[in-house]
Structure 1
Amino acid sequence: MASSFLASTLTRAAARRLAASTALPRQHARNTVRTLSTALLHSNARLARTALFPAITRPRPSMWVPSAGMKIKTTETASPETEGAAAAEEQANKKESPKRPEQAAEEDGDQGLDLFAQAAKNQKRRDAEAAAGSGGGGPAGTASPGAGEAAKLEDPVEAERQRKWKQAAEEEERKQMAKSGRNVAITMGLIGLGCFIYLGIPDNEEQQPKEGESYFARYHIRAWENLKNLRKTLSSPALEKLLPDALPPPYQRPLTLCIELSDALVHLEWDKSVGWRVATRPGVKQFLANLSRYYEVVIFTSSPGYLAEPVCQALDPHFFYAMYRLYRDHTTLVDGTYVKDLSQLNRDLSKTIILDTNKESFQLQPENGILLKPWLGDRSDRELKRLETFFEELYVFISVYGIQDVRPILNIVNTIDPEDAATAWAMYKQRAREDFAARQLADPSSTASSTSKSSWLSRLLGGGAASQQQQQPLNVIDQIEQLAREEHALADKDAENMKLQMVDMQKQQEEFIKKQMEENKKKGLKLWDYFNGAGAPQPPQQ
């Protein structure tokens, strides 16, 4: 009994020692020790060797265990005898099966190196093998991806398969494109047929077909006429009369001036950070203020209303300068160009002028138009100031001499220089002075007589001034310029007086408010009394 207990204790101790030295499971080590002891008792060396060596030469677990994508070295050690047996078995395994590159790298490398250094070393080795394999000089058993692809491309069977596959794909794509084209053509044809049927439907007041005219021909004529009417409706202005009837004579200006907004008075730019930005041309407010005294100013622009209306509202919020505003909706579409048809303004064309930066905009009435140089943001521009002088003198010339049609004068200006009306007008005045001087030298009496009959002084002062003018001939152009300067000075004086009146009104208002506040303070009125209207001025007694 004691001997069996002692044998069991020794067996368990030996098993624990064997398990600790060979990293075997404890139960397996215990079985091995029992077999070994039985063999020794029966003097069976073969059984002892069979029981002992498999345990010792069993492949040990790898000293590198995977953890989070890295291999961590374990701290277990083996006895010298166990390491020798394991080395012998590993040599036998090397001879039997070839090693993988990763195993070779793990066995040949220094296991005591840093993990990152070992990984860099393995990566360099793999890169070198890949480069050698792609160059055709790699070791046997290794093949780079580039070499495999090249071999596939060089293979005639694979190349033929790729060519047929590509050809089939292109053919399928062409079939799909043709099918889509047919579907679109059929759809458009059905839509066109439906439109033709709809437009050719006879109206209630349809005329009877002519003799010998077929029903289909009459149907076709109706459809074509309705199509032309539809196109005309879409390309025509929204209103037949763009402006209301003119004011009565005491209030109506003698001339109507239509002015383009974009690049004539202002310049619009688009900025991604702030959106639309608007810059006003130098002298634009003075230009509009002075001309509004003599002309019925109308802002007539080709820009859409949603862009032009805010600009006009900022430029002239109370309609002091321009009485009316017209936008793209009021233009006529002619060959893709937005044309301003002056015949629909409800104004006399003989007293109408249009100022625009695009000659195509007034192509329907070119004799009424004046071309203006577009402005793109140059702050040194003085074009409006020069045109202001031209329009003032033109107004004086027409008013004093009672000219009923402005178009002949505009035709003269456009003939001299169609690009610059101010320069053309200056040249015209210079020619008139030279002609007047030449006629005066040729026949002073006739020149004086004709001048007196047509001079503005004879019309203003009556026949009494005619005899005086016969003795002293006057230069018509000089008189027009002088009167225009006087009108301009009078306009400036009126503007200055208006400014002074506004300042005086503001001062009177401030003094009245201050006086009212002092009176309310003396009365001891509270805030609630102000709400009830106790501090308001009393209405005048009847």
Structure 2
Amino acid sequence: MSATVVQYPVEPRVTRSRLADEVSAAKKRSGAHVRAPSERIALVLDMDECLVHSKFQNEVEYRQSEYRPEQLEEYSDSFEIVMDDGERAIVNKRPGLDRFLEEAAKHYDVYVFTAGLEAYGKPILDALDPKGNLFAGRFFRESCQQRKGMFLKDLNVVRGGDLSRVILVDNNPVSFLMQPSNGIPVPSFYDDANDRTLESLSKVLASLQDVEDVRPRLHQLFRLADLLAEHQRVILG
């Protein structure tokens, strides 16, 4: 089965050095808009190329169609999943993922929101959270909004109404179109054993932990609303 490749309106521009720069900037701004929060931040994490990178034996459409390297690099921190139809996939974890999830669950309500099908995402998330105590919720392709062949993520399905303390972490800029001021973009993960993105991300998140409304701060850091404005007009109408 051949897949149609979705052409994204913009390419990810975030590098590990850029994220490190935002860590420094976030520290300088840490005194503004602070309160003792009434609820924890809802931390919404993408899965593919954000937390993990997977490779199927055959061409399948369990995942959102996008560029991925044809071959996985040799990698030590990986596991295998088997679909109900017998299709197998090797899954590589982003460096530091287990520790990141364990620490994040102590401070945030952690959700995973993937454009992949539940039949594919569930076994991966079960492997990442075998005790079921890390993720407050899981959202799959069925929870996305499809516009012009793209799967968009509406954060209202996670915490409807008030999005002042909701953060989406994703490597795909399309994912931010619905609520760009809630986003933290990260570089895509393709099996680089030296990747330190999650370390930098942890520091940015820590600087936001007691912020009353994360959106002004995230807009200052990443300006996604400005970068995606034209694409919002074209895709969302």
| 1:322 counterpart letter in structure 2 | F
Partner of 1:257: 43
Q: Which has the higher helix share?
A: 1
Partner of 2:53: 267
TM-score where L is the length of structure 2? 0.63
CA contact (8 A) 2:45 2:170 kept: yes
Write out per-residue CA displacement over residues 358-395 of structure 1, whole angstroms, 9 at most, x where no aligned residue. Answer: 11112011111111111011111111111112111221
Write out per-residue CA displacement over residues 442-499 of structure 1, whole angstroms, 9 at most, x where no aligned residue. Answer: xxxxxxxxxxxxxxxxxxxxxxxxxxxxxxxxxxxxxxxxxxxxxxxxxxxxxxxxxx
The ranges of structure 1 where at least 4 consecutive aligned residues each deviate by more than 3 angstroms after the TM superposition are none
Partner of 1:386: 200
CA contact (8 A) 1:253 1:294 kept: no
* Structure 1 gap ranges (5+): 1-251, 420-542
CA contact (8 A) 2:43 2:167 kept: yes
Provide the C-alpha distance between the structure 1 equivalents of 2:148 and 2:176, rounded to a whole number of angstroms: 13
Partner of 1:333: 146
Partner of 2:115: 302
Provide the C-alpha distance between the structure 2 equivalents of 1:393 and 1:414, rounded to a whole number of angstroms: 15
CA contact (8 A) 2:159 2:166 kept: no
Write out per-residue CA displacement over residues 98-136 of structure 1, whole angstroms, 9 at most, x where no aligned residue. Answer: xxxxxxxxxxxxxxxxxxxxxxxxxxxxxxxxxxxxxxx
Provide the C-alpha distance between the structure 2 equivalents of 1:375 and 1:300, rounded to a whole number of angstroms: 17
TM-score where L is the length of structure 1? 0.28
Alignment of 1:357 with 2:165, yes or no, is no
CA contact (8 A) 2:104 2:110 kept: yes
CA contact (8 A) 2:43 2:109 kept: yes
Provide the C-alpha distance between the structure 1 equivalents of 2:39 and 2:127, rounded to a whole number of angstroms: 25
Structure 2 SS opposite 1:350: coil
* Structure 2 gap ranges (5+): 1-37, 59-86, 228-237
Partner of 1:410: 218
Structure 1 SS opposite 2:55: strand
Partner of 1:198: none
Alignment of 1:319 with 2:136, yes or no, is no
CA contact (8 A) 1:291 1:391 kept: no
Q: 1:289 aligns with which of 82, 97, 102?
A: 102
CA contact (8 A) 1:259 1:354 kept: yes
CA contact (8 A) 2:110 2:134 kept: yes
Provide the C-alpha distance between the structure 2 equivalents of 1:292 and 1:409, rounded to a whole number of angstroms: 22
Write out per-residue CA displacement over residues 203-256 of structure 1, whole angstroms, 9 at most, x where no aligned residue. Answer: xxxxxxxxxxxxxxxxxxxxxxxxxxxxxxxxxxxxxxxxxxxxxxxxx84210
Count of aligned residue pairs for this structure pair: 160
Q: RMSD over aligned Cα, in angstroms?
A: 2.1
Structure 1 segment 109-120 matched on structure 2, within 5 A: none
The one of the two structures with greater contact order (alpha-carbon pairs below 8 A, sep at least 6) is 2
CA contact (8 A) 2:165 2:214 kept: yes
Provide the C-alpha distance between the structure 1 equivalents of 2:208 and 2:147, rounded to a whole number of angstroms: 31
Provide the C-alpha distance between the structure 1 equivalents of 2:157 and 2:184, rounded to a whole number of angstroms: 19
Q: Which has the higher strand share?
A: 2
Evaluate the alpha carbon distance shift between residue 346 and residue 391 of structure 1 in structure 2; reply closer, same or farther with a 3 A threshold. closer
Provide the C-alpha distance between the structure 1 equivalents of 2:159 and 2:41, rounded to a whole number of angstroms: 13
Q: Could you tell me how far 1:283 is from its partner in structure 2?
A: 0.2
| 1:276 counterpart letter in structure 2 | A
Structure 1 segment 94-105 matched on structure 2, within 5 A: none
Provide the C-alpha distance between the structure 1 equivalents of 2:50 and 2:39, rounded to a whole number of angstroms: 23
CA contact (8 A) 2:118 2:140 kept: yes
Provide the C-alpha distance between the structure 2 equivalents of 1:361 and 1:349, rounded to a whole number of angstroms: 16
Evaluate the alpha carbon distance shift between residue 253 and residue 333 of structure 1 in structure 2; reply closer, same or farther with a 3 A threshold. same
CA contact (8 A) 2:45 2:168 kept: yes
